[in-house]
Structure 1
Amino acid sequence: MLGLGAATNGQSAIGNDLDDEIDGRRVLGKARRDDAPVEDINSWSFVFGPFSLEVPRRQVLLNGAAIALSARAFDVLVLLVRQAGSVVSKADLLAGVWGTRSADVSCLRVAMTELRKALGDGQAGARFVQTVSGRGYCFVAPVARSGVGRSYPQPTGTHHNVPMAPANLIGREKVIPETASKLLNERFVTIVGPGGVGKTSVATSVAHRLLEEFCGDVRFVDFGLIIRSLQLSATLASGLGLDEKQNDELPMNLSQRRMLVVLDCCEHVIDVVAPFATRLLREAPRVHILATSREAMLVDGEHVHRLGPLECPPQHVTVSMADLASYPATRMFMDCRASGADELELTQDSANHVKEICRKLDGNPLAIAIAAAHVESFGLGSLVELLENPRSLLWKGSRTAQSRHRTFRAALDWSYRLLSEDERKVLWLLSVFGDEFTLEAAIAVALAADVDETTTLAALFGLVNKSLLMLNSQGGRTVYTMPRTTRVYVRGLISELRDDQSQNRRGAVVV
């Protein structure tokens, strides 16, 4: 492969001139500030997820093996990775790679398609390049940079890799400043809640709110990108901007820095992340930790904030279309519909349908967004009825979402796979309850199915901690509630099992 400095006919503008300027900014060969030192891009390499971007050799390695990538796609990747976490406009990409801002944008689309395919972007939860409508593209995966044959000092307060925060986070106006304040006082906060409730959105909003407080030294580690546990070490080091070879000394390397570390989507690697967070808290006294997980880590120093659903209109309250904006859940539904091809008819029936849809979806933001996208296909009235069918959990959401959020069924599958066998069995048994139930009732149902009390109590603890059951106090008594969507999901699993057993019996008779 050709080095960056050895341009050939047809190669990109990056290969021809490392000192190209875009709107007065030095893109690749120079530092952005005139008084900052010039760094040689030929000595740079980057690590993100399982990939290594070797700029000197013009190679992208996947677990050490080179993958095929055209010169244009490679240079697009270099530009995006160098500005990870920031939006790069199409014009800047065209100028940096094709040498002119007026180049055919279709060339960029082709290169971007090739790049995403090569990285497996969008597959198995992997997320690298995000399209920002009307603005350009953003490299959203955590990136670590190192030099070939030399080491670079880690940035202290000048760079962050936090993904963009949602522009309008409905219903979390109080949660974000409260969590930020608690994090500054307590150092270690875990945002806990069910899948799709918006934990990552709140965490990124808190991180952006605190950028100035930490002088920009905020690092975001996305464990949701991990497919195999072997990738944990690389993901952690990459997200923190450190060398993976120093993984055992990560807390020591951060001991002198005042920084915020965001650990996102911890539930499936919690047995490893929890002790790391504890050690980081102990050995790096100026580091603050914000984690998101579907279950609490249950370690010393952790302060748990349970993120609840969006508030829905009460069952007994009659609302008009104008009243829907007063409740976060229905307001979000209406906002999602505002981007649709049609407008909702302003009738009392429409308002009642929207209220009922949001209540049936437990005020879950992900479920509400998916349902709102299907109004054009089914209508409000039919949607209310269809939500009782487990197949509604398979309705598709955003194409750019991580795989565990593409459907609400995927979000529930992710949680279900993390349960123990006892927790799964007790969850199935508890799905017989229509709404709330007491501890005594739960034990009675379990005993009838030959599950002893000790096992039931342990399973109840796990299900509450993993956000699949909610515990509430009402009038001096404690009751459990299973979200309606979870109950529909479990009953769907039971139905699928019965169908499989019925098919097997029929097959046995035929044989």
Structure 2
Amino acid sequence: MFYDATDASEPVLAFHSFRFFPARRTLYEDDRPLRLGSRAIDILHVLLERAGETVTKDQLIARAWPNTVVEEGNLRVHVAALRKMLGERHIENVVGRGYCFITPVVRSDAGAIPHASATGPDAASAAAGGQSSTVYLPQSDGLPPCATRIFGRDQTVEALREQLAERRFVTIVGTGGMGKTTAALAAAERMQGHWRQGTVFVDLASLTHPGQVPQALAAALVMEHPAAMSAADITAALRSHHMLLILDSCEHVLEAVSLLAEQILHGAPGVRLLATSREPLRAEGEWVHRLPALELPPEPAPDAPPLTMAQALSYASVQLFAERVQASAAGLALGDAEAPQIADICRRLDGIPLAIELAAARVELLGIRGLVARLDDCCYLLKGGRRTAKVRHRTLEATLDWSYALLGERERNLLHRLSVFRRRFSLEEALSIGADSREGLEEAMDALSSLVSKSMLATVADTGAARYRMLETTRSYAAAKLAESGEHDVILAHYVALSGPPR
């Protein structure tokens, strides 16, 4: 069952026969809902919140048209529409400055005002102690648009929906480029009807300091003076809200997000959290959902007939590759002759959506066979990318740079050394490569655990003992770092002595 916050006190702003519910963005006259556009709703909300004060034209325009330059005439049109609906006597034009809502407004909970027609100066004074919400919410549904189709995430989306039905805090964890944000947005889109105030998306990737986390959330919630908002202020404002918050790209501000999340969970019972991160937040109440790679065609069995394109397209990784090839090289035919090679490409890229997208973009230049030939040089693929993507997703190299920057020195050294394994490896092998002495075993164990947690290593659950593997794109990146470190020859010799020549 989803948490139902409808019995929580809901803020209401009332005057004469009208009641305005900020959380629902709905205006009633007596018991009849009135139709208003989103711009008019924003303008009315500000005027009611600041009843008795002059609100400047610039302030109203900034609220109704954020990040957009509009003419003052647009504001006059919407104010005129409000006056026509409410009556001329409520909104006063302050010449040369702006507008003022001059009618007394009762600020209280919905249950405290059965009908707003009883309002007046005395009622307004009586309700002066009521707390009004400072969360205005975005004008849209709060979700950034998805520019491309989503492949192979139906089971993930359904699992996330079920998890959010039972738990209030879920974190999607996976390596860079795995599609964590895409999965979160898809799950939120499918669940839009579950939240009374909808969903708000908070992009934390651009933050440079943990102290900016509350400000980013306050800005996404369209609160006034977001730079001055603390976690306590935000939690108080969300206390009566019923909504989903998506906290995207948390890995570089983990502690700050963890503290904020715990505070919201304790203080705002109608709010649920869906986070994305390259490692768990380890916060109270967190449920971790590890995002798998896209489904891959299996390795061909000996003497098996060649894979057909129809068969290959039953796998999400191939569907994504084919769609991106058509988008970048329109008219290029992909048939049965290319199917085995495309399956090989997707397997060698470990089913990582970003890697597959960037590889597909090279097909116009190289062709399928040329791309297969260049896959041994993953560094070539690390460099290509989309200009319009977020900085950390423009290239595979940028994605891995982002993760690498979050590692400590011991974690980086171990990552470099483990790049000599082109196969799965055991805990004992990892420690043999990673520890310089018996005394260093514990440090190597801690670094190995951290690399798994931060999605730089994958665990393999196909044997009784723990085994690990490094995604090929990560391995290529780490191998380049190993070459730069000056340890390459020593570590390779150790590896050869341990298990024979690299395979």
Is TM > 0.5 for Structure 1 vs Structure 2?
yes
Letter in 2 for 1:238: A
Partner of 1:221: helix, strand, or coil? strand
- Secondary structure, in 3 states, of the residue corresponding to 1:433? coil
RMSD: 3.6
Of the three residues 290, 293, 296, the one matched with 2:280 is 296
Work out the CA distance in 2 between the residues paired with 1:219 and 1:342.
Answer: 36
Identity of aligned residues (%): 34
Q: CA deviation at 1:413?
A: 0.6
Q: Does 1:236 align with 2:207?
A: no
Task: Report the Cα distance in structure 1 between the residues aligned to 2:192 and 2:413, rounded to whole angstroms.
Answer: 44
| Contact kept in structure 2, 1:192 and 1:295, CA below 8 Å | yes
Conserved? CA contact 2:201–2:245, under 8 Å: yes
Partners of 2:291 and 2:261 in 1: how far apart? 20
| Change in 2 beyond 3 A, CA 1:33/1:356 | closer
CA distance in 1, matches of 2:267, 2:382: 45
> Which residue number in structure 1 is paired with residue 399 of structure 2?
411
Counterpart of 2:254 in structure 1 is: 270
C-alpha separation between the residues in 2 aligned to 1:462 and 1:321? 40
- Does the 8 Å CA contact 1:156/1:217 hold for their aligned counterparts? no
- Deviations 1:156-205 (CA, angstroms, capped at 9, x unpaired): 89864221245521000111122012112111100000111111011111
Aligned residues of 1:220 and 1:264 also touching (Cα < 8 A): yes
Q: 1:75-86 maps to which residues of 2 (within 5 A)?
A: 79=65, 81=67
Structure-2 separation of matches of 1:394 and 1:312: 21
Q: Who is 2:37 aligned against?
A: 32
1:440 aligns with 2:428: yes
Match of 1:246 among 213, 223, 229: 229
- Aligned to 2:276, the other structure's residue is in SS state strand
Change (3 A) 1:240 1:426: same
Hey, what does 1:491 align to over in structure 2?
Answer: 479
What is the correspondence of 1:182-197 to structure 2 with a 5 Å cutoff?
Answer: 182-197=163-178
In structure 2, the CA distance between the partners of 1:263 and 1:376, relative to structure 1 (3 Å rule), is same
**In 2, distance between residues paired with 1:285 and 1:486?**
40
Structure 1 residues 44 and 385: CA distance shift in structure 2, 3 A: farther
In 1, distance between residues paired with 2:172 and 2:205?
15
| Paired letter, 1:301 | G
Matches within 5 A, 1:397-408: 397-408=385-396
Structure 1 residues 12-45: Cα deviation after superposition (integer angstroms, max 9, x where no partner) = xxxxxxxxxxxxxxxxxx9517996963999999
Alpha-carbon distance, 1:253 to partner: 2.2
Whether 1:321 and 2:309 are equivalent positions in the alignment is yes
Q: For residues 458 and 42 of structure 2, what CA distance do their matches in structure 1 show?
A: 55
Letter aligned with residue 359 of structure 1: R
**Aligned counterpart, 2:189:** 208
Aligned residue among 363, 380, 391 for 1:375: 363
CA contact (8 A) 1:311 1:363 kept: yes
Q: Name the residue aligned to 1:219.
A: 200
| Residue in structure 1 matched with residue 418 of structure 2 by the alignment | 430
Distance in 2 of aligned mates of 1:341 and 1:167 = 16
Amino acid at match of 1:353: Q
Per the alignment, in what secondary structure is the counterpart of residue 289 of structure 2?
A: strand
Who is 2:29 aligned against?
none
SS at match of 1:452: helix
Question: What CA distance in whole angstroms lies between the structure 2 residues aligned with 1:194 and 1:161?
Answer: 25
Residue identity opposite 1:257 in structure 2: H
CA 1:441–1:290 in 2, change beyond 3 Å: closer, same or farther? same
Matches of 2:367 and 2:278 in 1, distance apart?
33
Does the 8 Å CA contact 2:251/2:277 hold for their aligned counterparts? Answer: yes
Q: Which residue of 2 aligns with 1:384?
A: 372
- 1:299-336 C-alpha deviation (Å, 9 max, x unpaired): 22110000011011112254212222111101110011
For 2:288 and 2:199, locate their aligned partners in 1 and report how far apart those are by CA, in whole Å.
20
Aligned to 2:194, the other structure's residue is in SS state coil
Specify the code of the residue in structure 2 equivalent to 1:258.
H
Shift of the 362–79 alpha-carbon distance from structure 1 to 2, 3 Å rule, reads: same
Which segments of 5 or more consecutive residues in structure 2 lack a partner in the other structure? 1-34, 78-131, 489-503
The residue aligned with 1:279 is: 263
Residues 190 and 290 in structure 1, CA contact (< 8 A), matched pair in contact too? yes
Deviation at 1:153, TM superposition (A): 4.9
SS of structure 2 residue aligned to 1:339: helix
2:313 is paired with a residue whose SS is helix
Give the partner amino acid of 1:32: G
Aligned twin of 1:260: 244
2:408 is aligned, of 420, 431, 436, to 420
Contact 2:210 2:256 in 1 (8 A): no
Q: Which whole-Å deviations, capped at 9, do the CAs of 1:69-116 have from their partners, x for residues lacking one?
A: xxxxxx999746479xxxxxxxx99x979x9xxxxxxxxxxxxxxxxx
Name the larger-Rg structure. Answer: 2
Within 2, Cα distance between the matches of 1:218 and 1:40?
19
Amino acid at match of 1:266: C
Give the 3-state SS of the residue equivalent to 1:427 in structure 2: helix
Task: Say whether the 8 Å CA contact 2:387–2:394 is kept in structure 1.
Answer: yes
Give the 3 Å change call, closer, same or farther, for CA 283–475 of structure 1 in structure 2.
same
1:168 paired to 2:149:
yes
8 A Cα contact 1:281 1:288, kept in partner: yes
1:452-480 C-alpha deviation (Å, 9 max, x unpaired)? 11011111111111001111221323211
2:249 maps to a residue whose letter is: C
- Look up the match of 1:102: none
What amino acid sits opposite 2:477 in the alignment? Answer: Y
Q: 1:101-140 alignment to 2 at 5 Å?
A: none
Q: 1: CA distance between counterparts of 2:161 and 2:65?
A: 32
1:332 aligned counterpart, secondary structure: helix
Q: Tell me, yes or no, if the aligned pair for 2:296 and 2:317 is still in contact at 8 Å.
A: yes
Give the CA deviation at 1:241.
3.0
Within 2, Cα distance between the matches of 1:156 and 1:37? 10
In the alignment, residue 223 of structure 1 is paired with which amino acid? L
Using the size of structure 2 for normalisation, the TM-score is 0.69
- In structure 1, runs of 5+ residues without a counterpart are 1-29, 46-53, 60-74, 84-91, 100-150, 501-511
**Cα offsets for 1:337-392 (capped at 9, x unmatched):** 12233444455541122111111111111111111011111121121222222432
Give the whole-Å Cα distance in 2 for the aligned partners of 1:57 and 1:80: 11
Q: Distance in 2 between matches of 1:420 and 1:232?
A: 22
**Could you say if the C-alpha distance between residues 246 and 37 of structure 1 is closer, same or farther in structure 2, counting changes exceeding 3 Å?**
closer
C-alpha deviation, 1:491, in angstroms: 1.0
Quote the offset at 1:394 in angstroms: 3.5
SS at structure 1 position matched to 2:466? strand
- Partner in structure 1 of residue 296 of structure 2: 312
